[in-house]
Amino acid sequence: MTDGTLSEVPCTVLGAGGFIGSHLCQALVAAGANVRGFGRRPVFPDSMPRINFTYGEFNDRTALARAVDGAEVVFHLLGGTTPEVSNNDPAADVQSSTLASIHLFELCRSSGVRKLVFASSGGTVYGIPSVVPITEDARTDPISAYGINKLSVEKFAQLYDHLGGAKAVSLRIANPFGPFQSPSRRQGLIPAATMALLADAPFEVWGDGSVVRDYVYVTDVAEALMSAATYDGQFGIFNIGSGVGRSIVDVVSTLGELLGRKPKLRFKASRRADVPKNILDIQRASDALAWSPRTEWVDGLKQSLEWVQAFELRQR
Amino acid sequence: MTDGTLSEVPCTVLGAGGFIGSHLCQALVAAGANVRGFGRRPVFPDSMPRINFTYGEFNDRTALARAVDGAEVVFHLLGGTTPEVSNNDPAADVQSSTLASIHLFELCRSSGVRKLVFASSGGTVYGIPSVVPITEDARTDPISAYGINKLSVEKFAQLYDHLGGAKAVSLRIANPFGPFQSPSRRQGLIPAATMALLADAPFEVWGDGSVVRDYVYVTDVAEALMSAATYDGQFGIFNIGSGVGRSIVDVVSTLGELLGRKPKLRFKASRRADVPKNILDIQRASDALAWSPRTEWVDGLKQSLEWVQAFELRQR
């Protein structure tokens, strides 16, 4: 870690089997890190490189302790539900996100983990922004329990850092997209809309389609997480996004053009947990992490489309 | 509530038996409100006016539901431990502060409470400030679990407001002082230092005595809580303090002068949960709540001293 690379460094990825986690594992293996994974079984086994993987839930303390033991760097990609679901039972989200993370931070402290990188949520911690793009110093008024808990986890990570635990960096990640983002589970707009277009089916969106999000390609997110792992400067929080806002209608139109199909959007009532607009200012990450998104929007979309098409063929 | 007063308004004070709570109950009764109290038995029974008081712990859901039922305004003065203690077991502080408050907010929503006023902590939610006095929009980087949880409770109060629950206002209260602040329990610097001076005993302080705090007289805090209860504007957060910073050494010197005694300070290692300086900017409360502290510093100190002297006499 002293030379700024992760070669030979023992790294544990919590949530390794998930969408961002699997890409991070790929990138870490490629960088020569000594990678272990923890979490649920990968949804797409072909997304995972061969690594030492411990299956377990976040609240399985024995399995978690085993996964963290000996790691120098821990990537924390676990916890919480979705913004909308979290508002149905905020207390349950506190349990699965904040409380489970505090237990993790205790483990990291007792086992001498040097660096903790937390995947926070750039789309929810700020709430409804007064200006866009949003800087890291903007007000944080989440409109979901999910967002409040991501904020709390950031702050507890900093607290354990202050109290002598692992040095903590949190990345407020915008809307990631790319291969291995599950269409069937509606993790994100792009795979779900692609599936609907391929099936020539109507596609339901909440609200009037004007909701603006900042989409960032998943391999760029993996690079940001790795940059954070070797970062040793003053900041504990970074926005990670594209810095560009796109509406739902725009995204689905572009997908339709790429596939040569006409979208059939169906509009539903908007959701209480959805902010109307979210675009992140990524200057700090550019300056301090020397990170910028490298994947062009349409190139990323094409990669995502191709994966969904292959997935859809296998499903038949 | 429509005429901006609390006359005849059903109000419930959670934590009524505590230091701020007892003063708030006095002020509410004087304003003609219909006051009910909930919490532990008053430490000083003579501090409490005659009100309907339900004894219970914050986690006693049946008792809490009974106390909230029928209230239009709920004052939430419960939860958490102390900054230093909270860092020994952050998860326990999440339970007793954030999770217990979420349960309260659910109760408030189901019983149709119109206004929730939360007593947050101006001394801990900001952490180590980059500039003083601190405005409400400053960064919030607490260095204690206590501070993180106070922030979370503020944000969950706003979330339930957003989701159709009670309209929420949080007051970030600086260091309150005045009669009925327990000297024996070391709730605050002033009564504890007064007891030491009266006994001509050494007085231990953490650090070198340079730690600066913003001291606000408790009846002024009670007035701020009542102003917040009838406030109907855009802000959900207000700093409540004096706007003036005083070091421990300064405060104890002034107490010594008032008592005609020479302080014997003993300095100990400073605590990890203590910020070096905390002074609140109270312009927003002045502008929007038409609230300002009315009690002069030395007048407040004298009231506090007199009460401690009477308490000390009774203890003999």
Q: Which CATH superfamily is domain A10-177+215-242+284-288 in?
A: NAD(P)-binding Rossmann-like Domain (3.40.50.720)
Q: 3-class secondary structure for chain B?
A: CCCCCCCCCEEEEECCCCHHHHHHHHHHHHCCCEEEEEECCCCCHHHCCCCEEEECCCCCHHHHHHHHCCCCEEEECCCCCCHHHHCCCHHHHHHHHHHHHHHHHHHHHHCCCCEEEEEEECCCCCECCCCCCECCCCCCECCCHHHHHHHHHHHHHHHHHHCCCCEEEEEEECEEECCCCCCCCCCCHHHHHHHHHHCCCCEEEEECCCCEECEEEHHHHHHHHHHHHHCCCCCCEEEECCCCCEEHHHHHHHHHHHHCCCCCEEEECCCCCCCCECCECCHHHHHHCCCCCCCCHHHHHHHHHHHHHHHHHHHC
Q: Cβ contacts (< 8 Å) between A152 and chain B: which residues?
A: 98, 148, 151-152
Tell me the C-alpha to C-alpha distance, in Å, between residue B199 and each of B252, B261, B262, B301, B305: 14, 10, 11, 18, 13
Nearest to A143 among B90, B148, B159 (CB): B159
CATH of domain A189-212+244-277+296-315: 3.90.25.10
Predicted confidence (pLDDT) per residue in A140-188, tens digit = 999 999 999 999 999 999 999 999 999 999 999 999 999 999 987 667 9
Nearest to B145 among A90, A95, A159 (CB): A159
Render the burial of B130-150: b for 16+ CB within 10 Å, e for the rest: eebbbebebebbbbbbbbbbb
DSSP state of A122: T
As a whole number of angstroms, the distance between CA B279 and CA B240 comes to 10
As a whole number of angstroms, the distance between CA A237 and CA A285 comes to 9
| Cis upstream peptide for A90 (omega within 30°) | no
CA distance B109 to chain A (A): 13
Predicted confidence (pLDDT) per residue in A117-145, tens digit = 999 999 999 999 999 999 999 999 999 99
Contact A148 B156 (CB under 8 A): yes
Contact B159 A87 (CB under 8 A): yes
For an interface test with A, the pick among B155, B170, B272 (most A C-beta atoms closer than 10 Å) comes out as B155
Encoded tokens for A237: 């929080």
In degrees and rounded to multiples of 5, residue A169 shows phi and psi of: -130, 130
Residue B239: the pLDDT is 98
Structural domain B10-177+215-243+284-288, CATH architecture: 3-Layer(aba) Sandwich (3.40)
Identify the band that residue A271 occupies on the pLDDT scale cut at 50, 70 and 90: confident
Would you tell me how many other CB atoms lie within 10 Å of the CB of residue B46? 7
Encoded tokens for A312: 């859809």
Tokens 């890409």 label which residue?
A23
Would you tell me how many other CB atoms lie within 10 Å of the CB of residue B9? 21
Res. A90: pLDDT tops 60 = yes
Predicted confidence (pLDDT) per residue in A1-46, tens digit = 444 799 999 999 999 999 999 999 999 999 999 999 999 999 898 8
For an interface test with B, the pick among A124, A148, A161 (most B C-beta atoms closer than 10 Å) comes out as A148
Render the burial of A223-233: b for 16+ CB within 10 Å, e for the rest: bbbbbbbbbee
Task: Compute the average pLDDT of residues A103-107.
Answer: 97
Task: Compute the average pLDDT of residues A87-99.
Answer: 96
Residues 6+ apart with CB under 8 A from A115: A1, A72, A73, A74, A166, A167, A168, A169, A229
Would you tell me how many other CB atoms lie within 10 Å of the CB of residue A99? 24
Residue B316: the pLDDT is 79
Residue of B nearest to A88 (CA): B163
The structural domains of chain B, with segments of one domain joined by +, span: 10-177+215-243+284-288, 189-212+244-278+296-315
Residue B304: the pLDDT is 97
Q: What ipTM goes with this model? A: 0.95
CATH of domain B189-212+244-278+296-315: 3.90.25.10
CB B107 within 8 A of CB B76: no
CB A282 within 8 A of CB A223: no
Residue B315: the pLDDT is 82
Q: Cβ contacts (< 8 Å) between A163 and chain B: which residues?
A: 87, 272
Residue A7: the pLDDT is 96
Residue of B nearest to A99 (CA): B91
Counting as low any pLDDT under 50, the low residues of chain B are 1-3
Q: Cβ contacts (< 8 Å) between B87 and chain A: which residues?
A: 159, 163
Residue B207 gets the label, from left (phi > 0), alpha (psi -120 to 50) or beta, of: left
Task: Compute the average pLDDT of residues A80-101.
Answer: 94
Residue A163's nearest CA partner among B127, B38, B227 is B127
Residues 6+ apart with CB under 8 A from A116: A73, A74, A76, A105, A108, A157, A160, A161, A165, A166, A167, A168, A169
Residue B88: the pLDDT is 95
CA distance B150 to chain A (A): 11
Encoded tokens for B8: 């005849």
Residue B48's nearest CA partner among B6, B70, B5, B15 is B15
